[in-house]
Amino acid sequence: MALLKIARMGHPVLRRPAAPVDDPTDPEIARLVSDMIETLADSGGVGLAAPQVHVPLRVIVIGVPDQRAEEEEASLPLTALVNPEIEAVGEAVVTRPEGCLSLPEMMGRVPRPARVRYRALGLDGAPIEREVGGFHARVVQHEVDHLNGILYPMRMTDLGTLGYVEEFRKGMSEDWEGEGR
Ligand code: NI
């Protein structure tokens, strides 16, 4: 187990599309995921994509903490998804604050589809398929974006809502409920 160094916005690894994993049961992938989970636990984040730790592969780890689970959505322990694919369900879009471990101390309000369906492989190679909304839908979209070289400011429609968490805390308490990852 090891804490991994997190790439920050501006590093080219965050802008390149990541490559699919050939064998999700490869012990190297299990080791990567174990280190990603340890790194996430250390940072207090709820999602991490392999390119953020300088590994250009299609692997993400996501979780939905109890306090983030909404009425119809269950919480989710930190879970690895290999080669995830995602599609929006319906037309509804919601705009909520997001943060990212690659943009430390910052947050911004990001519009995203409210519900998504995703497919992925687990570390045992078994398929995972879910349809989700709420925080779960947001975190999986944020992390899959990382696999395609997209950071959340690139999804924002109002850059006036991008700023430092500390400043939002001081002045706009209703807006600062960041979802740090
Ligand atoms: Ni992120």
| Proportion of the chain in helix, strand, coil states, percent, rounded to 5 | 30, 30, 40
Residues with CB under 5 A from ligand 1 (ion): 100
Going from the Cα of 137 to the center of ligand 1, the distance in angstroms, rounded, reads: 14
pLDDT given at position 181:
46
Cα 154 from Cα 157, distance rounded (Å): 8
H-helix or E-strand spanning residue 83:
strand 76-88
Confidence of residue 154 (pLDDT cuts 50, 70, 90): very high
Going from the Cα of 179 to the center of ligand 1, the distance in angstroms, rounded, reads: 10
Going from the Cα of 48 to the center of ligand 1, the distance in angstroms, rounded, reads: 6
Order of strands, edge to edge, in the sheet holding 106-113?
93-98, 106-113, 163-164
Going from the Cα of 17 to the center of ligand 1, the distance in angstroms, rounded, reads: 14
Cα 96 from Cα 176, distance rounded (Å): 10
Give the model confidence (pLDDT) of 44-66 as tens digits: 889 999 999 999 999 999 999 88
| Model confidence pTM above 0.75 | yes
pLDDT given at position 115:
97
The conformational region for residue 90 under phi > 0 = left, psi -120 to 50 = alpha, else beta, is: left
* Active site residue ranges: 143
Going from the Cα of 52 to the center of ligand 1, the distance in angstroms, rounded, reads: 8
Confidence of residue 177 (pLDDT cuts 50, 70, 90): low
Return mean pLDDT, the chain.
92
